[in-house]
Amino acid sequence: MPAACETVLEDIEDIVSAQDLKPHERQSVRKNVFPKVRKRGSHKNIQTDDDPPSDSIIPGVQKIWIRTWGCSHNNSDGEYMAGQLAAYGYKITENSAEADLWLLNSCTVKNPAEDHFRNSIKKAQDGNKKVVLAGCVPQAQPRQDYLKGLSIIGVQQIDRVVEVVEETIKGHSVRLLGQKKDNGKRLGGARLDLPKIRKNPLIEIISINTGCLNACTYCKTKHARGDLASYPIEELVDRAKQSFQEGVCEIWLTSEDTGAYGRDIGTDLPTLLWKLVEVIPEGAMLRLGMTNPPYILEHLEEMAKILNHPRVYAFLHIPVQSASDSVLMDMKREYCVADFKQVVDFLKEKVPGITIATDIICGFPGETDEDFHETMNLVDQYRFPSLFINQFYPRPGTPAAKMHQVPAAVKKQRTKDLSQLFHSYNPYDHKVGERQRVLVTEESFDSNYYVAHNRFYEQVLVPKDPLLMGKMVDVNIYEAGKHFMKGQPVSDARVYTASITRPLAKGKVSGLTGEVRRAPQNGSHWKGPPSAEVPVETPASSRMARQLPWPQEGLKILSVSLAFLALLVTFYYGRM
């Protein structure tokens, strides 16, 4: 049978005949070759220069503006998200106008906070900004009309923020709202060793648990944070150690209820605190976050000992909300006023000078004038130096929203009356002339002073001497106001430097150990169409799940790919 080819080709160029164009002739002909544009079925699918196809967008190089509302737990989440995005290559900017994407981290406690959140979304959309939503509002009610079509990162999914931002920049809508579990058991949330950017390089906020054991009828946060889930003691201690190694001199422990810590994992708050104080260096301090009365009652003796420790602030935030037992019952607070008084009286006796902060809700549904007067009497009796006064706002989806409401004018008047009582006394006047040891950690809002705190976490303003920042110094108190004291450093006193090392520069990413940690999920490149919403159960794959440790490497690979494509095109047109 004859061979298909009688002539053996030694090289691919042997197939070029004498009639074929020479290379220089191909070059001149190519100038007259124009690619044919294939018409699409609808105008929507035509890409313009202003709206490039998603595959041509390179994530990891854009500017991102982050805005956080709410509690210290939410602020900690915001710091973690900023750190991961910066570690991946995104630039975190404080200028919202120059940002390509806005990451809005919301709070659902009160209506005004959600109103600000909603207005920010509209402002971003009006400014043609990409938007990613986070925090308790979208977690609790992701199907609200004003959230439709927008990307959402759940409160337990913040370790996947890079994926969500990347897909949003490419024009997709991604929603990750699931819970983190280990063998079916709910976890506290994302890992504590993720990169983060501390808003204040001297202060580390550590969330010790998420969720709570209560079912307060007014609370919307429960819908977002869920039931109690605690982090193991070892992970929390390791996080504290790492923070001190990065120049932190003050740690805040935060959660929806610190007093309930450990009940789900067979331990308790005092056990955690004793482990933490072992690793606090001299000159550094620990501040304990909010705890509800029922759970602190069981540990009063141990808590008094811990709050007397020289490296723990003698400060505790215990919300009472109302001094009426009937109102507390309607709130489902699971304690009575006598329980609250027992906690406060015991700690005041065992921890002399302790600062007790508390919260009051004015105008809860069903609150009578007599109920409110009981609350006024409680505040007058204890004269709390720190009091958070809140007018009641019915939050959608809560039992309290369905109760008979107190008239708005009455709520407003009660809030005003309680505020006047609070401002009628000055808690620090008797401290003028004292010598106090304070830890300097931040700058005042008016930028005229540095802000320090004494042993009882009372605010002391000191001169703006850069040598004082991050240091523990002795001051003489020479003036007192409603919310602060002013102190002059004592010249011959010892200055304590808590930091094991120099604090990180503002905006610098903490927690990096040479390689950016990647999300544990694996998968192929995103295939969904623009604006396709991803259900909670579907993990959104991303460039982060592929082996591209830095955006710069992605650029290199893209350049090589484009060069190879150019060669193919050249060969194709050369054959025409």
Cα–Cα distance between 210 and 135 in angstroms, integer?
Answer: 13
Q: What is residue 562's predicted lDDT score, i.e. its pLDDT?
A: 59
Is it the case that residue 47 has pLDDT exceeding 90? no
Each residue's pLDDT tens digit, 255-305: 999 999 999 999 999 999 999 999 999 999 999 999 999 989 999 999 999
| Domain at 129, CATH number | 3.40.50.12160
Under the banding of pLDDT at 50, 70 and 90, the label for residue 516 is: very low
Indicate the burial class of 564 (C-beta count within 10 angstroms; 0-12, 13-18, 19 or more). exposed
- Quote the number of domains for the chain: 3
Question: Does residue 446 share a domain with residue 337?
Answer: no
Q: Mean pLDDT, to the nearest integer, of 523-543? A: 35
Count of other CB atoms within 10 angstroms of residue 91? 15
Residue 50 lies in a domain: no
CA 423 to chain centre: 32
| Domain at 461, CATH number | 2.40.50.140
C-beta pairs of 332-341 under 8 Å, 24+ apart in sequence = 332/214, 332/215, 332/216, 332/217, 333/214, 333/216, 333/292, 334/214, 334/292, 334/294, 335/292, 335/293, 335/294, 335/297, 337/374, 337/378, 339/293, 339/294, 339/297, 340/293
Please state, rounded to an integer, the average pLDDT across all residues of the chain.
83
Cα–Cα distance between 52 and 60 in angstroms, integer?
Answer: 16
Question: Does residue 90 share a domain with residue 205?
Answer: no
- Is the separation of the CB atoms in 542 and 162 below 8 Å? yes
Give the list of residues 6+ apart from residue 126 with CB closer than 8 angstroms, or none.
none
Cα angle vertex 77, ends 72, 83, to 5°? Answer: 125
Question: Does residue 233 share a domain with residue 202?
Answer: yes
Each residue's pLDDT tens digit, 225-254: 889 999 999 999 999 999 999 999 999 999
Site of tokens 């080819």: 5
Residue 3 lies in a domain: no
Question: Does residue 352 share a domain with residue 214?
Answer: yes
Most confident of 348-352, 529-533, 540-544: 348-352
Residue 238 lies in a domain: yes
Question: Does residue 161 share a domain with residue 206?
Answer: no
- Is the separation of the CB atoms in 379 and 480 below 8 Å? no
Cα–Cα distance between 54 and 166 in angstroms, integer?
Answer: 10
3-state secondary structure of 570: helix
User: In the Cβ-directed half-sphere of 404, how many Cα atoms lie within 13 Å?
Assistant: 4
Residue 416 lies in a domain: yes
Beta-strand relationship, 471-480 and 91-93 = unpaired
Under the banding of pLDDT at 50, 70 and 90, the label for residue 565 is: low
Residue 423 lies in a domain: yes
| Domain at 408, CATH number | 3.80.30.20
3-state secondary structure of 541: coil
Structure tokens at 174: 């991604």
Question: Does residue 174 share a domain with residue 112?
Answer: yes
What is residue 244's DSSP assignment?
H
Question: Does residue 389 share a domain with residue 277?
Answer: yes
Question: Does residue 277 share a domain with residue 225?
Answer: yes
- Domain end: 400, 428, 456, which one? 428
Structure tokens at 180: 């983190």
What is residue 373's DSSP assignment?
H
Is it the case that residue 547 has pLDDT exceeding 70? no
Query: With pLDDT > 70 as the criterion, what percentage of the chain qualifies?
Result: 78
Most confident of 38-47, 186-195, 484-493: 484-493
Each residue's pLDDT tens digit, 156-171: 899 999 999 999 999 9
Residue that wins the pLDDT comparison between 373 and 214: 373
Question: Does residue 360 share a domain with residue 300?
Answer: yes
Under the banding of pLDDT at 50, 70 and 90, the label for residue 567 is: low
Cα–Cα distance between 74 and 501 in angstroms, integer?
Answer: 27
Question: Does residue 210 share a domain with residue 192?
Answer: yes
Backbone angles phi, psi at 478, to 5 degrees: -120, -5
Cα angle vertex 411, ends 406, 414, to 5°? Answer: 130
- Is the separation of the CB atoms in 315 and 288 below 8 Å? yes
- Domain end: 178, 211, 237, which one? 178
Tell me which residue range forms the domain holding 474.
430-497
Residue 234 lies in a domain: yes
Is it the case that residue 4 has pLDDT exceeding 50? no
- Domain end: 497, 523, 550, which one? 497
Q: Mean pLDDT, to the nearest integer, of 202-224? A: 92
Under the banding of pLDDT at 50, 70 and 90, the label for residue 572 is: low
Structure tokens at 100: 């390509």
Beta-strand relationship, 151-153 and 130-135 = parallel
Q: What is residue 534's predicted lDDT score, i.e. its pLDDT?
A: 38
3-state secondary structure of 329: helix
Question: Does residue 401 share a domain with residue 287?
Answer: yes
Which residues on adjacent β-strands are paired with residue 196?
510
Is it the case that residue 530 has pLDDT exceeding 50? no
Question: Does residue 263 share a domain with residue 230?
Answer: yes
Cα–Cα distance between 58 and 43 in angstroms, integer?
Answer: 25
Residue 320 lies in a domain: yes
Residue 502 lies in a domain: no
CA 439 to chain centre: 25
- Is the separation of the CB atoms in 416 and 376 below 8 Å? no
